Structure 1
Amino acid sequence: MDNDSGTTSGTRTSVADPSPYAAYAAQITPYATINASGTAKWARDHWNDRPQYSQDCTNFASKALYYGGGMRMKGVNKDKKSADNWWKTGHTAPHGVYYYTNSYSWTVADKLHLFLSRHSDGMVNTESKQSKAKVGDIVLFNWGGSGGWDHAGVITQMKNGKAYVSAHNNNRLNQRLDVYINSKKGTWADIFHVIPGWY
């Protein structure tokens, strides 16, 4: 489950970013809509990085979209609880410590699902239509089919019509989507082909 309310992590800002992902941010083409292959490559390259949170899966997916895919933030530094915003910013405290703040949609699976439902113009497939998924898509899982959305990952491989997922929380590289679906009876997934609708 990924229900960390999230108030810290990495970003591209006017303040020098000491995070190991700053080099990725510097390579982002500001006029690109989103680079799905870049999203997947970032996830493959960083699947076993040390998690920033005890529940880190949505943070991992958001960083893949931002650092790898070049997806622009929305509503930066505005209401962090709003599912209409998706952002993370870095700050330097008066005593010199660098820290981050972010919207809930950056780190909470349920909020990211709502944000993408409202603001992505791309196709949404379910686990039963995973053959239509594409590398770089974002997948969100509902364990047992009840309550909110619990887990997030990135589609990093497609093979013979089957999707493979890389994710944090019990870090995984190219884990078959079906393994997640079969881990608990009634589990389902939504697979977002992300096309930002805000720029």
Structure 2
Amino acid sequence: MKEEIEKEEATAELLGQYEPEATGTINLKNERAYAEKHYKNYNKGYPEFGNDCTNFVSQILAEGGRREVYPMHLPSYTTDSKYWYMKKRPDNSWGWSKSWTVVSDLYAHLVRTQKGYSSTSKSSIISNAKSGDVIQFKKPGADRYSHTMWIYEKQSSNLLLSGHDNDYLKRSFNAITGYAKYRIIKM
């Protein structure tokens, strides 16, 4: 199982090395405004999940202009990482993709069109990141990355991160402990 997961994530990282396709114009100002408004006050226009970190980052990306990708016939849930959406269905129930809410699946979706970068070094992550990128965290000995945040602001030697689970608007990356590896998705 561990080898399968590592192979899947390595393949996704390799896919991230190709030139990105058009995925909509991203507006950092709109993303920041959304994070500021909803990092503590959850948006009632979206369903709320336990372990809401990836859902919140997906909302930021969508509200900033990243185009949702959904199938013609909207199922209640899809596991295919080529899709990324959270949408009301004709019966008024929610339909969503696993990539909207699950750390590894968001990564697999985003690196289809964006570049990824991973490192165990915080300084290396900081030097390769920019405001508006997505960052994910992996604990020591874990098979998978387990947390997603959004880079609100890049400083010369730190990143300020927005996220849910523990609700933050500008959490210092340097103050976060308990993780062994990090990866960013260049937005």
Provide the TM-score with structure 1 as the length reference: 0.69
1:166 CA displacement: 0.7
Aligned to 2:27: 35
1:170 alignment counterpart: 166
Deviation at 1:190, TM superposition (A): 0.8
Structure 1 counterpart SS, 2:34: helix
- In the TM superposition, residue 120 of structure 1 has moved relative to its aligned partner by 2.5
CA 1:191 to 1:149, structure 2 compared with 1: closer, same or farther past 3 Å? same
Q: 1:129 aligns with which of 120, 125, 131?
A: 125
Q: Report the counterpart of residue 39 of structure 2 in structure 1.
A: 47
Gaps of 5+ in 2: 1-22
- For residues 54-78 of structure 1, the C-alpha deviation after alignment (integer angstroms, 9 at most, x for no partner) is 11000000000001x1111123337
Which 5+ residue runs of structure 1 have no aligned equivalent? Answer: 1-30, 195-199
Structure 1 residues 165-174 or 39-48, which shifts more?
39-48
Q: Which runs of 4+ in 1 moved over 4 A?
A: none
- The partner residue of 1:156 within 149, 152, 156 is 152
Moved more, 34-43 or 166-175: 34-43
Partner Cα distance (2:29, 2:115) in 1: 15
The structure-2 alpha-carbon separation of the partners of 1:50 and 1:32, relative to structure 1 and needing over 3 Å to count, comes to: closer
Give the secondary structure class of the aligned counterpart of 2:149.
strand
Residues 131/38 of structure 1: CA separation in 2 closer, same or farther (3 Å cut): farther
Name the residue aligned to 1:75. 70
